[in-house]
Amino acid sequence: MTTSSADKKRSRGFLKEELGNPERRTAYYMVLPSLVIILIVALIPIVSSVWLSLHQATIVQTGAFVGLQNYITVFQDSSFLSGFKNTLIFTVVSVFFEFIIGLAIALAINRAFRGRGLVRAAVLVPWAFPTVISAAMWRLMFQDQVGIINYVANTLGLINQPILSNNTLLLIAAILVDVWKTTPFMALLLLAGLQTIPGDVYEAARVDGANILQRFFQITLPLLKPTILVAVLFRTLDSYRVFDLFWVLSNRQLESLSTYVYEGVRITQLQFATGNAAAVFIFVTAFLLALFFIKVLGMQTSTEE
């Protein structure tokens, strides 16, 4: 791209206008510290990750340039592929159930009732727990010698081997724990969204003879769409990055994209370069996911009223 003198003049005019005005200058000074920290701790490292992923890098040196070789290696690595598959299944299934159950709960408790405070507190408890601690708690309950869930599932004939020793059962267990932990959060967000829908809209629809299903699909869902998109996007990206839950619940057995990266760059360090390639892959795909929600589904991102 060429910078014409007109462009230069315009950008100089822009700077002059923005920094010449004392209020605006103060504003820039005030946001600058946060931007600098973000730049140093998040943006420079991600550029550095991309750079390392294109080299035969180790933890101590950058090494020779190898182009996309690390990415090819990653996509031929069976443990990366199984991590990718687990992550996709986990994300789709857990977000689906969290949304459906969360919406049902939100609709059910969207009214005045006694014991509201108690319900709210109970809902917040799983949310407030550190993920690793809830994973450790559930692991104790899935345990084959003392675990209540393993005992019940075994008695009912649902399983024929210990839950913690089988990766499919572990993935199901991980989804269960995630649904337990984050459905309340989803319900709270959706409930807050429901409460912004004015009651007279429903009243008017009822007068016009709309039945409960029509009211739900024609009023509730469309008006709730902005909240749904925000909640589902947050949960999707969170599940897509899953690390703590898999790591602790399965005691490092079950692989996700994130555990693959972590093992590569932090535990074995032999796969430092390929680990970085996988890291860049997560970053790019997460970015595309967010973009999909914003552009295709029309999520509002503006904070201006």
Report 158-197 residues binding another protein (CB under 8 A).
180, 184-185, 188-189, 191-197
Residue from the set 94, 227, 250, 274 that interacts with another protein by CB under 8 A: 227
Among candidates 109, 111, 127, 103, which has minimal Cα distance to 228? 103
Residue from the set 7, 9, 12, 27 that interacts with another protein by CB under 8 A: 27
Residue from the set 12, 18, 158, 217 that interacts with another protein by CB under 8 A: 18
- Is the Cβ of residue 92 or residue 299 nearer to another protein in the bound state? 299
Residue from the set 26, 78, 160, 211 that interacts with another protein by CB under 8 A: 26
Strands (E), the chain: none
Count CB neighbours of 90 within 10 A. Answer: 22
Backbone angles phi, psi at 53, to 5 degrees: -70, -15
Q: Report the nearest approach of another protein to the CB of residue 164 (Å).
A: 11
Q: How far apart are CA 167 and CA 158, in angstroms?
A: 15
**Which amino acid is located at 174 in the chain?**
A
Tokens of 160: 């024929």
Q: Which stretch binds another protein (CB under 8 A): 45-53, 72-80, 82-90, 166-174?
A: 45-53
Q: Is 54 in the site for another protein (CB under 8 A)?
A: no
Question: H or E stretch including 183?
Answer: helix 167-194
- Is the Cβ of residue 1 or residue 41 nearer to another protein in the bound state? 41
Q: Which stretch binds another protein (CB under 8 A): 1-9, 24-32, 72-80, 90-98?
A: 24-32
Q: How many residues bind another protein (CB under 8 A)?
A: 111
From residue 249 to residue 268, what is the string marking binding to another protein with x (rule CB under 8 A)?
A: --x-----xx--xx--xx--
- Is the Cβ of residue 81 or residue 289 nearer to another protein in the bound state? 289
Residue from the set 73, 93, 241, 253 that interacts with another protein by CB under 8 A: 241
Backbone angles phi, psi at 55, to 5 degrees: -125, 170
Question: H or E stretch including 279?
Answer: helix 272-291
Q: What share of the chain is helix, strand, coil (3-state, %, to 5)?
A: 75, 0, 25
Residues 6+ apart with CB under 8 A from 84: 257
Within 100-159, the residues that bind another protein by CB under 8 A are: 105, 108-113, 115, 117-126, 128-141, 143, 145-146, 148, 151, 155
Q: Report the nearest approach of another protein to the CB of residue 167 (Å).
A: 18
CB 274 within 8 A of CB 58: no
